[in-house]
Structures are given as structure tokens and as C-alpha cells.
Amino acid sequence: MADEKRPPRRRRVGAIFWWLVLPLVVGLLLSTLVPRPIVGLIYLDGPIGSLTARSLIAQITYAREHQEIRAVVLVVNSPGGTAVDTESLYMELARLRQAKPVITLVEGMSASGAYYLTSGTDYVIAKPTSEVGSIGVLSSLPPQPTVSEDLVTTGPYKAWGAPPDAVMRQLETIKQGFFQAVKQGRGAALRVESEVLLRGEIWLGTDALRMGLVDELGSQTRAVEKAAQLGRIPQYRVADVRELAGLPFVTEALFFIASPDGKTTPYPREAGLYLLYVPPSERGLP
Amino acid sequence: MRLLRFWIALALLVLPSIARAGWLYGNRYTRLAPPALPEYAGMTASLPLLATPQALKPAEVASKVVVVDVAHKNLFGVSELEALTRALTDLGARLQTVQNAQSLGPALKHADAYVVVAPMTAFTPDEMWQAQHFVNQGGRVLVLTDPTRVPVTGDGLSGPNSLLAPFDLAFSDDYLYNLVENEGNYRNVWLKKFADSPLTAGLSTVAFYAAHSVNTSTGTPLILADERTLSSRTDAGGNLAAAALSADERVLAVGDLTFITAPYYQVADNSRLIAHIAEFLVGGERSHDLADAPFIFTRPVTILPTQNITLTADLVKSLGQLQLALGTANITCTLSSQPAQDSDLIVLGSYAPSRDLLPYLSPLLADFNISLESRTVERKSASISVPGVGNVAKEGTGLILFSRTEERSTLILLANDPDWLSDLVSVLASGLQPECAVQKQAAICNLVKPDSNRGSEVKLPPDQSQPGTSLP
């Protein structure tokens, strides 16, 4: 009755407000509640060992399973680590890349095993003085097998693992895997001969760019932008995947023996296969 | 109408969220192909081709002596040379080790070959001279080093290079590597280029496991790397030699040790190369001169005292020392009044020669172009005259004369009396130097011991015109 008493013009304006403007304004306000996609940051800081691998695999899995994370930036500052943990991470990253783009930002260093992972991402950004490369494998050889009165085994290598020569050849097999990963990962971008690549040399970011080991020199902001671009997301927010996943911060112990003067030697503390770079400044003779 | 309004309002309420969600999440990331992973399952470690060890023709005479140096803090165990030592013993060689620098000289005197592996201390000028003399006399030298055998501190090549320098051979402070074609690791290189030499006869490929390159300007680069094998020092390749032979073909320098060790001696033609090295070591014709005394004999030795020599207790003791010394070179010696057939001879005499000494002295006198008439014995004279040397005091000195004929080698020991002769035999047993001034066929020895009063009164005659005993 009240509406009927109102003039038709006012009635029409009221109807427009209540049925069009108000729902639209509310709808627009509500639309801001739609969460922005996330460019997730996964930090690889320090040597790659079982602890860091476990933490990073959890972060990679989280990023893969959560739709709001649309792209991942792997922020690397690592000399590499054990071969098996590096390969674990490499395979997990490959699974993540099937769903989402992963790009690497090299901070201080992406050497050896860390570059194994770096090469397996969609785009690599480094700093001009980042250290990149050290493609190769490292291991200490087991001693020649001996027998003793106190220890009885059922085979000559039960106590020693393998003959020294076999370990040397295993290194070559692992190197082949590493080299293939780099070749497939970098593809046509790679502009360096295998003979140069396999020297195990470490290069500055500027040289690595010329050689095609990285795609661009730039900052973290640029890396995030590139990840968003590859993930085709116009608006995004940046978040640390470890914090999103509620994982604790872990650090890996040093792999190498410290000499009496406190310097790190290039000799592994434990026998094993390593995709690792030991900076010369820290080296000392055993 | 109201229902229509409701649906419009609902649409306006929801659409912005849908539109925004579509905008933010609509462009789905799609990968055209899954990321490629390495074919891990197909990767295998390369294994070397194993060859049957080279069979060697057994030696007819087991007489060669190969001395292995362990006196220079050498970074190896003799057992590591098993493949080489087996080849040497197959060829009839006898191996001896030199444990300290003092015994190097005596050892080289009776050796036919000298093997030095990864020495960590430099050779002294005296040792270098001994090695040079050894090579000049026809001895063979093998020097092996390995870049993996390095001292904790210092230069690992000063040892081998100090020995090799007189022969224009030197190891570079590097290692060879090949990233493209190798034997299981970049530092294990295949070597397929060989100079024409008995050492490389029949070789097609050898594998060295971290090897220094060897430089020579006058010698022969024997085993060469291909263009893609690089030196770690320059990261460049081309004409890098892993083994080289000196110009006189008596000194062989090899930049790797591992190829001799198990199991690598079985790889490719390595065992054939080891066999050739063994043949090289026993293949020299070693000659001896007086500087090699007492190891100047190659046959059993008869010791012959002449008539005016009494075998005193001291002299017998000294002869025992000499017998012991010659025994280390596998040379037996017997005391006899007559020279035995097929034996060399040591004649003991005095400055006043007895009649039975003359037949042994005569050829030497002829060698020295001295007539027998000049051999005047002046028993009271304080000196003897040695041609080319001058007067030598009789007291406190000894004279050793050496001659080699087709029939036999003869060493004549002369002193003033049996006591001095005893000392002279001792000096001979201990290798002459530094007590003796040694020339090609004669040595004059000082027999006065610093802690002895005997002979201290000995003085050379002031008057050269005083007649004396003249001897070669």
C-alpha cells in the first residue's frame, strides 16, 4: 500500500537500489573475499641432506596439493649435498612442475646438487655474482678390502660396500644422470659444450647467463613476477610455503671434516656420494 | 516479476565473485608435455676391457739386478709393483731395495737397472752424480710418478725431476684428463699414440689412471695423448706425453704408477707395456769401471795373495768383509794360491813386488806405457812413483790397479805391508770412496784412519829427486 502511495518514479528508483545496486555493491564487496592466488616461495638454504630434503619435499607436496598456490619460486643458496637427497628433490620438483610453473632464483650459490635442481625448473634467474655450476659428483673411495680375525663377513665387500674401482665407475653413472638432467632441463638454452660443462667448474651469474645455465639476471621481485606470468595470474600474493604448511625451520649439519685450524676439508665426514661443492677458501689439506 | 528481481539481485550479488575468481584462477596453467627426466634405468658404468697378461720368454741367465729405491720417502709400497716385479723375475732379474741414501751408491755399483717410484725428497748432487755415472755405464733407469701420490706439503715433483734433469726429462706438475672418452673417469685416459720403440712394440691402447705429462726436448716422447686429452695445468691438449725416453734410451720416465697396480695392469695393453718395461730394465749392457769397486766382477772371484804377503789376522778379517760385500751382488770369492778357471781375480801384493806378482803387473805396465826396467824396487825409499800421478808415500797409502781382458778382470791391490794391505782390502770392501782418488784403471787410497796413530808419521818425501819405486 505504501509503495502504491509513492510516486511511480520514486518507486522505480527504490526498486533499482534494492534489487540492483545494493546486490551489486555487496557482490563486489564479497568478491574481494575471493583469495588471490599465491606465488609460493620455497627456500633451499644450505647443504642438501636428509633433513632439508624432508622439509622441502613436504613444502613441494603442499604447493602441489593446494590450488591457491599457482606458481612456485625456488630460492636457492646452496652448495648441493648428498646425491640421493638431491635426486629425491629433483623428482618431486618434476611432479610439481607438471601442475605448476616452478622458477629458480639463485641467490648466493647454486652449485652441484643445487644446480641439478635448478636446471630442472622452468626458468632460472640469478644475480650477476651468484655462483653457478660445479656439475659433477664427489666421493671418497673405500679402502681395499681386507680380512681380520675379529670380523667375519659372508663376502669380500660385505664390510666395505664395493671395490674402489666400482665406486669410481658409479660416480660416472651418477654424473651421466646429472648431465642428462642439465641437458634436458636447459634444452636449447644451453650454449656450452659438454666438455666445458663437465669440468666441474663454477661460474659467476654473468658467465652462466652467457652459457645458458641461467635465463636472466634479476631480483627476487622479478622472479616472483616471472612466476606469476608463467602461472598466468594477474594478481597474486607472495607467501613462504614453509610457513603456509606450518613446517619447522631446519638446518643441515656440515658434511665435511673440519681440520684442526677450523677450515673445512674437501673430504666427506661420512662415506657416500655427493653432488656438492666445497668452496676453495674453506678448504685445507687433511 | 518479484521472482525475476530476486534472480537478478542474486546474480548481481554472486557474479562479481565469480568474475573475480574467473579472472584470478581462470587462466589455468597447462604444460604441453610433462617435464623430461633422465633415463636413469639405462645408465651403466663403463667397464674396461681386460687383457691377458703378456707372457714373457724366460731368461737364459738369471743375473740382472734391479734396484728399487725406497730411500727417498717414496709414496708407494713395493707390493704395488707386483706386476712389474713378476715380469722382472720372469726375465731372471733379482730385485733389491735401497733403504737409505747412503746405500744408493753401493747398490748402483752392482745394479743393472734402477727403479724410482714417487720419491718425495730431492736427490742430492752426489746421488745425481751416482745415477748419471750408472747410466753412463749402461745402466737403465725407470722413474714413475703419479699425481695421486703427493706429499702433504711441498713439491711432489722435486724428487723425480732432480733425478731426471741431467737426462733432459721432466714431469709437469699436472695431470692428464679427458672428459669425452675415458676409462671410467675423466682422469683415466686412453693413450693410443706411440713412438716407434721396443718399449711400445705391439701396443694399440694403454690406460693411465691420472698421469703427469712428461717433457723432453732431446729425448723421445714415447706414449702420447690425443688432442682431446688435456693437461690440468693449461686445460689444453696436443702432443702431451705420458711417458718419455731419454736421448740415450737408457732413462724412462712414466707419469703414472696406477697402471702397474692391480687390477689396472690387466686393462687394455697395460700388461704388454709392463712386460716391455721389464725387458727395457734388464736389456742394458752394464759396464763397470774402478769407481764401481768392489762390484766390478761378473763372475766368481779368486783372491790370490802373492808370495811376500802374509795373511795376518787383520787381513783375513778384511778379506771376510770383502767376501760379504761381494756376496750382496751374488759374487762368490775364494782364497787360492792359483787363479781358478772362469773366474776373475784379486791379487794381493806389496809395493815391493814379488816375482809371482809380475805376470799380473806386466799387462798393466804396458797399458801405462812403462817399461819393466823402470820397475826398480827401492825398498828403503819412502815413496813410489805412479805415472800420471807422481810420487805417493808408501806408508799409509794403497794402490789399486784394474785391468779387464777377454779372459778375466783383474784387480791388483798393493800396499807397503800386510797391515796396510788389510786396510786397503777394507776400503775396497766399503767401496773405495771417499778414501780413494779413483781414476779409470787406478785408485790411490788413503789408509790412515783419523783415530789411529798408525801412519801419522807418514810424510811425503820433500825431495822429488830421491829415487823411488816406480809403478803404474
Q: What is the DSSP string of B86-127?
A: HHHHHTT-EEEEE-SGGGHHHHHHH-SEEEEES--SPPPHHH
Read off the pLDDT of each residue in B442-459 and give the average, rounded to a whole number.
69
- Alpha-carbon span A34 to A37, nearest angstrom: 9
- Is B438 contained in some domain? yes
- Alpha-carbon span A131 to A99, nearest angstrom: 29
Domain finish residue from B259, B282, B305: B282
Residues B227 and B311 in one domain: no
The DSSP call for residue B333 is E
First to last CA, chain A: 99
What is the domain range of residue B278? 65-282
Q: Using the beta-carbon criterion (under 8 Å), do A23 and B23 form an inter-chain contact?
A: no
Indicate which CATH number applies to the domain containing B294.
Answer: 3.30.379.10
Helix (H, G, I), strand (E, B) or coil at B3: helix
Q: Picking from A65-69, B70-74, B189-193, B384-388, which range would have the lowest pLDDT averaged per residue? A: B384-388
The confidence score (pLDDT) of residue A262 equals: 67
Strands B333-335 and B301-305: parallel
Please report residues of A whose CB lies closer than 8 A to that of B153: 285
Interface check for B19 against chain A (CB to CB < 8 A): the answer is yes
Read off the pLDDT of each residue in B127-133 and give the average, rounded to a whole number.
92
Domain count, chain B: 2
B 223-282: CB under 8 A from A: 228, 235, 263-264
Q: Using the beta-carbon criterion (under 8 Å), do B20 and A31 form an inter-chain contact?
A: yes
Domain finish residue from B220, B249, B282: B282
* Residue of chain B whose Cα is closest to the Cα of A37: B24
Q: What is the ipTM of this complex?
A: 0.80
Q: How many beta-carbon contacts under 8 Å exist across A and B?
A: 116
Q: Is B210 left (phi over 0), alpha (psi -120 to 50) or beta?
A: left
**Which of B5, B10, B13 to probe the A interface (max A CBs under 10 A)?**
B13
The confidence score (pLDDT) of residue A264 equals: 64
B 213-232: CB under 8 A from A: 228
- Alpha-carbon span B368 to A250, nearest angstrom: 92
- Is B126 contained in some domain? yes
Looking at per-residue pLDDT, the higher value among B290 and B112 belongs to B112
The percent of residues above 70 in pLDDT, for chain B, comes to: 86
Interface check for B24 against chain A (CB to CB < 8 A): the answer is yes
The three cell numbers of residue B465 are 829427486
B217: Cβ contacts below 8 Å, ≥ 6 apart: B168
- Alpha-carbon span B277 to B93, nearest angstrom: 13
Domain finish residue from B226, B251, B282: B282
Distance from CA of A188 to the nearest CA of B (A): 14
Please report residues of B whose CB lies closer than 8 A to that of A37: 24-25
- Alpha-carbon span A29 to A25, nearest angstrom: 6
| Amino acid (one-letter) located at B336 | S
User: Cell 730411500 appears where?
Assistant: B71
* Residue of chain A whose Cα is closest to the Cα of B18: A31
A33: Cβ contacts below 8 Å, ≥ 6 apart: B17
The confidence score (pLDDT) of residue B83 equals: 94
Question: pTM for this structure?
Answer: 0.81
Largest CA distance in chain B: 161
Please report residues of A whose CB lies closer than 8 A to that of B179: 194-195, 198-199
Of the CATH numbers 3.30.420.40, 3.90.226.10, 3.90.1150.10, 3.40.50.740, which one belongs to the domain with range A36-282? 3.90.226.10
The confidence score (pLDDT) of residue B190 equals: 96
Residues B352 and B260 in one domain: no
Read off the pLDDT of each residue in A68-90 and give the average, rounded to a whole number.
96
Interface check for B2 against chain A (CB to CB < 8 A): the answer is no
Domain map of chain A by residue range?
36-282
Q: How far is CA A213 from CA A83, A185, B81, in A?
A: 20, 10, 45
Closest CB to B15: pick one of A27, A94, A234: A27
* Residue of chain B whose Cα is closest to the Cα of A196: B179
**B394-410: per-residue pLDDT in tens?**
788 888 888 888 888 88
Helix (H, G, I), strand (E, B) or coil at B77: coil
Strands A123-126 and A138-139: unpaired
- Alpha-carbon span A147 to A159, nearest angstrom: 9
Distance from CA of B48 to the nearest CA of A (A): 10
Helix (H, G, I), strand (E, B) or coil at A199: coil
Q: Using the beta-carbon criterion (under 8 Å), do B9 and A22 form an inter-chain contact?
A: yes
